[in-house]
Amino acid sequence: MSYKFSPIDIREIIELLAMYGEVFETKNVSVSVCADPDDDKFIECAIASESTLIVSGDKHLLNITGYQNISVLKPREFMNNYLEKG
């Protein structure tokens, strides 16, 4: 079987989410900055949580990297920049 992308081991990511993930309310934050309005919720969540990084391969989110100092990285970029190689 041929894959479009090379496989990656996401266990480290799942472990990080389980250890450090938090839930934030976004009802007091409303933005309309993405070409795809369904993606605005991710920016709203980043603003509400005071996050500076979103990991996504979504082209609409990638196009607005830098909005309110929020960087958007592709998953591979995140893996290469933030997770140690085993």
What's the pLDDT at 7? Answer: 75
Residue whose structure tokens are 């960087």: 71
Q: Judge whether 70 and 51 are in contact, CB under 8 Å.
A: yes
Angle at 6 between CA 62 and CA 2, to 5 degrees: 120
Q: Judge whether 46 and 69 are in contact, CB under 8 Å.
A: no
Helical H runs in 1-74? 11-20, 40-48, 59-63
Residue whose structure tokens are 């607005």: 64
Q: Where are the domains of the chain?
A: 27-82
Q: Tens digits of per-residue pLDDT, 14-32?
A: 898 899 999 999 988 999 9
Q: Tens digits of per-residue pLDDT, 72-86?
A: 999 889 888 887 665
Q: Model's pTM, two decimal places? A: 0.75
